[in-house]
């Protein structure tokens, strides 16, 4: 249920008339039409408004807790969510009351009523309705204040959960690194009390990527860029690879180094589903096996290859040593404009930037955020165990999808203009996918895809791809000068996550997820299945 939508609705002072209301008219002598009656069943009106007001009472779903029980922060967060759902439901009922009272006023004033009611009776009925409307408007103001308070409370509880996650992580590190096996629980409690709040440590020179980060499916290229006779060279975790299509048309990924004399294979060509080295003509299939050696006897030679798959318009590889998982993540929405760029930034810092929207009114003042006002408070609202949520006050949904993808949906009315307070209120949307492939310690391969759900034909307009590429580079350059400065200072020992605040929530959760991965935790936080 959407509480922010309610906040907009409860300020409406006028009625929304039902389309199912019936009009009976009679043509006059001069060809004009006069309304003789306006009538309709109240049930019909409610049905027409059902999308807004036919919402189940959330009190039936609230779990019962023992009276006097002390909640932890996670339970308290769930209670705050139930409070918000109730106040949202209550506000909807109050707005419905006002709309029905307005309909009664219309019924009292309609011409047919004057035929059997005196003016005095009508004045009395209108006075009574006016009193009811004033009371209903007062109740709406109360409901609006309750929704606002509940939202603030929810944001506060989520911030407490965020702090708790950071503290739990640090306490775990302290207990694991304790040198004495006989350390008492009292000493651990003392250490816990002395721990700083709300702190992450991301500083120092960029370290080699942990092996466990490789055990995921990674999108490395767009399918549309890989033809039967072309190759795409990539770097992935400090190693060179090359992607091409085999005899069956399916993509393969092999080491971009010939087994003979270490010549880069992407300098060669693709012949009959095999990649041919430009030095001596050795040809390799998508599984890495050498199938042709001109001018010499064929020997059993094979180069490294990676599991490779094609899905939803993208080429995926599995660079890890563990067996690949059976399923690949879904990267909907559908295809649109595509851009591939190499960025001189460590991929974690680039993800930090993409997961942060609060910087937009200050950083992107010449591009998409031109004219955006600076809100007094920016929030990111997300489930207690999630890596996704929505921004307030911006109509943008956002998700981090492990290991390196950011998916966002933006509600817009026209290019550069936001519409509504959340994406559900918006009739048109811009969908974005960012993939941050770790090429090396200081380089990221960025795959960007953008689509509009209201203008699919734009992709077929000549030169439109070049226009979007130019615009995307402008936006990226606004970020790069800042993130490059961050990386320089991080390498010199500065902590780039020194003091997280409320709107950093999604970035903090990404960092906690990655930290658990690097520590080889038995269970990663924010698992979708939990």
What CATH number is associated with residue 388? 3.90.380.10
- Give mean pLDDT, residues 252-256: 98
pLDDT in tens, 496-521: 998 888 889 999 999 999 999 998 88
Is the confidence at residue 438, as pLDDT, over 50?
yes
Query: Is 171 inside a domain boundary?
Result: no
Segment of 353-362, 372-381, 404-413 carrying the highest mean pLDDT: 353-362
> DSSP assignment, residue 209?
P
Question: Collapsing DSSP states into helix, strand and coil, what is residue 411?
Answer: strand
For 146-155, 375-384, 466-475, which range has the lowest pLDDT when averaged over its residues? 146-155
Query: Is 271 inside a domain boundary?
Result: yes
Segment of 31-45, 193-207, 277-291 carrying the highest mean pLDDT: 277-291
Q: How many domains does the chain have?
A: 3
pTM of the model: 0.66
How would you class 244 by CB atoms within 10 Å of its CB: exposed for 0-12, middle for 13-18, buried for 19 or more? buried
Domain boundary among 317, 347, 373: 317
Query: Is 163 inside a domain boundary?
Result: no
> Which pLDDT value is given to residue 334?
67
Q: Are residues 291 and 375 in the same domain?
A: no
Q: Are residues 409 and 495 in the same domain?
A: yes
207/183 Cα distance (integer angstroms): 32
Domain boundary among 266, 283, 317: 317
Domain that residue 286 falls in: 211-317
> Phi and psi dihedrals of 266, rounded to 5?
-70, -10
Query: Is 195 inside a domain boundary?
Result: no
Within 226-327, strands assigned E span 232-236, 239-245, 251-255, 269-271, 274-276, 283-284, 290-292, 305-306, 308-311, 314-317
Check residues 218 and 90 and name the one with the higher pLDDT: 218
Check residues 426 and 188 and name the one with the higher pLDDT: 426
> Which pLDDT value is given to residue 412?
76
Domain boundary among 317, 351, 366: 317
Q: Are residues 142 and 270 in the same domain?
A: no
> Which pLDDT value is given to residue 185?
41
Q: Are residues 276 and 235 in the same domain?
A: yes
Query: Is 36 inside a domain boundary?
Result: no
Query: Is 94 inside a domain boundary?
Result: yes
> Which pLDDT value is given to residue 158?
66
C-alpha to C-alpha distances, 73 to 58, 82, 87, 134, 160, nearest whole angstrom: 22, 14, 21, 40, 7
> Which pLDDT value is given to residue 32?
36
- Give mean pLDDT, residues 94-100: 79
Is the confidence at residue 303, as pLDDT, over 70?
yes
Lookup: tokens for 118: 């005196």
Q: Are residues 226 and 266 in the same domain?
A: yes
Query: Is 398 inside a domain boundary?
Result: yes
Q: Are residues 347 and 307 in the same domain?
A: no
For 255-259, 320-324, 470-474, which range has the lowest pLDDT when averaged over its residues? 470-474
pLDDT band at 416 (very low <50, low <70, confident <90, very high): low
pLDDT in tens, 98-111: 778 777 877 777 77
Mean pLDDT score of the chain = 78
Is the confidence at residue 9, as pLDDT, over 60?
no
pLDDT band at 36 (very low <50, low <70, confident <90, very high): very low
> Which pLDDT value is given to residue 120?
78
Is the confidence at residue 488, as pLDDT, over 60?
yes
Q: Are residues 126 and 243 in the same domain?
A: no
> Which pLDDT value is given to residue 133?
80
Query: Is 421 inside a domain boundary?
Result: yes
Lookup: tokens for 478: 């606004």
Is the confidence at residue 304, as pLDDT, over 80?
yes
């Amino acid at each position: 249920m959407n509480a922010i939508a309610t906040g907009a609705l409860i300020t409406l002072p006028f009625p929304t008339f039902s389309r199912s209301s019936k009009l009976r008219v009679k043509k006059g002598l001069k060809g004009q039409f006069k309304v003789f009656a306006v009538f309709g069943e109240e049930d019909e009106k409610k049905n027409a408004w059902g999308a807004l007001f036919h919402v189940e009472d959330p009190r039936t779903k609230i779990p019962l807790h023992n009276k006097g029980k002390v909640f932890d922060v996670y339970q308290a967060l769930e209670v705050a969510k139930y409070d918000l759902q109730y106040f949202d439901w209550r506000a909807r009922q109050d707005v419905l009351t006002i709309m029905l009272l307005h309909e009664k006023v219309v019924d009292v004033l309609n011409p047919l009523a004057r035929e059997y009611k005196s003016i005095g009776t009508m004045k009395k009925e209108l006075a009574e309705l006016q009193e009811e409307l004033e009371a209903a408007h007062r109740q709406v103001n109360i409901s609006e204040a309750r929704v606002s308070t509940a939202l603030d409370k929810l944001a506060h509880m989520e911030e407490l959960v965020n702090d708790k996650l950071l503290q739990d992580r640090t306490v775990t590190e302290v207990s694991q690194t304790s040198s004495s096996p006989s350390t008492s629980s009292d000493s651990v409690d003392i250490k816990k009390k002395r721990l700083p709040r709300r702190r992450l440590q991301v500083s120092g020179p960029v370290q080699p990527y942990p092996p466990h980060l490789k055990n995921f499916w990674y999108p490395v290229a767009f399918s549309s860029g890989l033809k039967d006779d072309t190759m795409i060279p990539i770097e992935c975790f400090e190693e060179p690879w090359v992607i091409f299509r085999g005899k069956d048309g399916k993509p393969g990924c092999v080491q971009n180094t010939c087994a003979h004399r270490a010549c880069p294979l992407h300098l060669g060509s693709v012949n009959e589903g095999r990649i041919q080295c430009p030095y001596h003509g050795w040809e390799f299939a998508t599984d890495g096996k050498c199938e042709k050696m001109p001018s010499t006897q064929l020997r059993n030679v094979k180069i490294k290859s990676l599991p490779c798959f094609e899905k939803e318009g993208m080429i995926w590889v599995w660079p890890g040593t563990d067996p690949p998982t059976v399923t690949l993540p879904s990267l909907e929405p559908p295809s649109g404009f595509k851009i591939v760029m190499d960025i001189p930034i460590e991929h974690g810092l680039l993800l930090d930037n993409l997961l942060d929207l609060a910087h937009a009114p200050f950083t992107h003042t010449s591009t998409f955020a031109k004219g955006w006002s600076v809100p007094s408070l920016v929030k990111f609202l997300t489930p207690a165990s999630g890596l996704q949520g929505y921004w307030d006050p911006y109509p943008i949904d956002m998700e981090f999808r492990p290991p390196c993808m950011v998916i966002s949906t933006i509600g817009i009315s026209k290019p550069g203009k936001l519409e509504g307070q959340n994406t559900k209120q918006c009739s048109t949307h811009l969908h974005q996918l960012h993939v941050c492939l770790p090429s090396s310690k200081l380089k990221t391969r960025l795959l960007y895809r953008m689509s509009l759900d209201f203008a699919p034909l734009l992709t077929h307009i000549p030169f439109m791809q070049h226009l979007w590429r130019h615009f995307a580079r402008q936006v990226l350059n606004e970020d790069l000068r800042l993130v490059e400065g961050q990386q320089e200072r991080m390498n010199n020992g500065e902590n780039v996550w020194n003091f997280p605040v409320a709107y950093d929530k999604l970035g903090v959760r990404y960092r906690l997820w990655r930290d658990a991965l690097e520590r080889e935790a038995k269970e990663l936080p924010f698992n979708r299945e939990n």
